[in-house]
Amino acid sequence: MKKREDIKREINTLKFVWKMATGEHGKMLIVIFLNILSGALPAGIAWVVKNYMDTNFADLFRKEDLILFFTLIVCGIFIKMTANLIMGYTMPNIKRNIEINCIKKISVLPHAYVLDCIDNRIVMTLSIESGMITSLIPMVYRSFMKAPVTILGFVILLLFVSPILTLICLVLISTVIAGVLLFRKAIKQLNKITYNRIGDLHQYFAEWLNGYKIFVASNAVKFIEKQLVKVSTELSGLSKKITKIAAIQSLIIEIITIAITVLFVVIASQNAVSKGLFNRSELILFPAAILFIRGEVLNVIYGYVQLASTESAAKRIVDIIEYPDIKIPDGEQFDEMIKALSLKNASFSYTDSTEQLLDNASINFNSGQINTVIGRSGAGKTTFINLCLRLRTLDSGAILYNGKDILSFSEKDLMRKIGLVEQEPFIFEGTLAENIFFDRTPDVHCILKLLDDFELTHLAKSESELFHTQIGQKGRQLSSGEKQRIAIIRVLAKNVDVIFFDEVTSSLDTWNAKKIIDCIKVISKDKLVICASHDIMLIQESSMLYEIINGKIICKST
């Protein structure tokens, strides 16, 4: 039953690739035809050559025969190159289709699902995994179309020449298939584990390198060197393991091929020709057939192994694209200004955890003051903010804005009134205006005033500079304090009623942290401000202090 499910999953993977080839099906059909033709060509050439095996050697060099041989060879090369060229232009388009479909689906998925995807590196590795899936296409043509045609062509040729040779070849093919099926499950599982582990190691390697600055500052470069060498050594070991797997697969076929070939040579050497069992053309044709059949059977096996190793990537992409469509009710409009946030008997825990991050919690937050939520790391401060942003949904209870359930409002309408400033502000490659307004129509006067209020006029003093100043990795380099102030301007430019600050001062020096806290104090006068923080300075400036303890939110007056 499990084997049937595995085969069904593999077939579904190939169906998915075909489905993602929208607009490219015509090209793919041409490539299929060319691969089938290319697969049949070796048997055709062998048939032509066979007809000359019992003639005089000089007859092989007749002009018309040489033209025929070279024509067949050139046709074979031309067919192969044409198929590769068409495929080379088609694959990037299919990869793009997969990525676009995935991105479009992500934009309408429940936010909690997307957050989990990011946690599991599914979204972050989208380009790599779509590339792995696309690489299945030439493998499918070579392994599952061209190879079977070549095998079938030679079997038919041998059947026409000699039933005995055909029987030997069928025994060879049957034995190889039996060997493959015998090792199929073990090899497939080993490949999947190995490739997944390689993906993890590449991630670790990148993480260690990202922390290089910390290791230098801590005088621990030797430590990171040891860790990188350790990861690199394991990667090398896994690469050798993959080579070993491939070698075992090849060895099975090689042993069978050599054994049958030797057997045939032994039979032939015992005057088989003189006794009329075989003629000269058969003796030459048989080793050629064995060689081609062996090579194509190997292609089928390697193709299957690659398909099995790609299953994990395909499943992750398919899970996103084929996630059930969920119609979210429009909800009522939210026209009034938000002045209060309440939690009423709110409970929440992650599906893979038994810990209740919120356990029947009830609390009220009001505007016109700084509300700060504290708690140990992992207590649920960021999760609390995600719930208030409706990025996740409570297991039970309710979150209320102005006494009305958060789920009763249109998501778009609600997000228009809520802003978020994170610990690591998201600054992307683009202009200052794009980083503040994204694709909304900018209010230039408002932005220039905010830049002045937040002492960032050195970034842009005019409308022209606002739309042309490039920031990000390749643009103007920003300090952590500048990034945080831009993130605050970003939410203020939306004219929101509620702003959540998630550990905004934790990565800042004392001077920058004080400037951000001063900004928060000004903002909190006419907005609902909720901060999640460990910062003593921010806690001291807070009007109301709340602590998350064992799933409860306890109010502590400051």
Q: What is the pLDDT of residue 305?
A: 72
Q: How many CA atoms lie within 13 A of 378 on its CB side?
A: 2
Which pLDDT tens digit goes with each residue over 316-363? Answer: 888 888 888 877 666 677 778 899 999 999 999 987 777 888 999 999
Q: What is the C-alpha to C-alpha distance for residues 102 and 100, in angstroms, rounded to an integer?
A: 5
Instruction: Please report, as a single letter, which amino acid is at residue 12.
Output: N
Q: What is the pLDDT of residue 212?
A: 74
CA neighbor of 69 nearest in space, from 80, 60, 78: 60
What token pair was written down for 383? 């999760």
How far are the Cα atoms of 47, 91, 101, 309, 441 from residue 88, in angstroms, in the given order?
32, 6, 21, 22, 41
Give this prediction's pTM. 0.74
Which pLDDT tens digit goes with each residue over 266-298? Answer: 665 555 555 555 566 666 677 777 778 777 877
Residue 191 in this model has a pLDDT that exceeds 70:
no
Q: How far apart are the first and last CA of the chain?
A: 64
CA neighbor of 132 nearest in space, from 322, 323, 321, 315: 315
Q: What is the DSSP-derived secondary structure letter of residue 338?
A: P
- What is the β-pairing status of strands 470-471 and 430-431? antiparallel
Domains of the chain with bracketed CATH: 2-321 (1.20.1560.10), 340-427+478-557 (3.40.50.300)
What are the backbone dihedrals phi and psi of residue 69, each rounded to the nearest 5 degrees, phi first? -60, -50
Q: What is the C-alpha to C-alpha distance for residues 197 and 194, in angstroms, rounded to an integer?
A: 5
Instruction: Scan for tokens 């060229």, then name that residue.
Output: 85
Between 194-208, 305-319, 366-380, the lowest mean confidence (pLDDT) is in: 194-208
Q: How confident is the model at residue 263 (pLDDT cuts 50, 70, 90)?
A: low
Q: What is the pLDDT of residue 346?
A: 93
Which pLDDT tens digit goes with each residue over 76-118? Answer: 888 888 888 898 888 899 999 999 998 888 888 888 888 877 7
Q: Where are the beta strands (DSSP E) in 367-471?
A: 370-374, 396-401, 404-405, 418-421, 430-431, 470-471
Q: What average pLDDT does the structure give for the chain?
A: 81
Q: What is the pLDDT of residue 512?
A: 86
Q: What is the C-alpha to C-alpha distance for residues 533 and 319, in angstroms, rounded to an integer?
A: 36
What token pair was written down for 259? 């054994």
Instruction: Scan for tokens 């095996």, then name that residue.
Output: 53
- Contact between 292 and 44 (Cβ < 8 Å): no
Instruction: Scan for tokens 């599991």, then name that residue.
Output: 120
Which pLDDT tens digit goes with each residue over 122-170? Answer: 676 788 788 888 888 888 888 888 888 888 888 888 777 777 767 776 7
- Contact between 16 and 137 (Cβ < 8 Å): no
What token pair was written down for 262? 């030797």
- Contact between 59 and 51 (Cβ < 8 Å): no
Q: What is the pLDDT of residue 268?
A: 58
Q: What is the C-alpha to C-alpha distance for residues 556 and 277, in angstroms, rounded to an integer?
A: 100
CA neighbor of 137 nearest in space, from 79, 93, 177, 195: 93
Q: What is the pLDDT of residue 384?
A: 93
- Contact between 532 and 373 (Cβ < 8 Å): yes
Which pLDDT tens digit goes with each residue over 221-247? Answer: 787 778 777 777 777 777 777 677 767
Residue 371 in this model has a pLDDT that exceeds 90:
yes
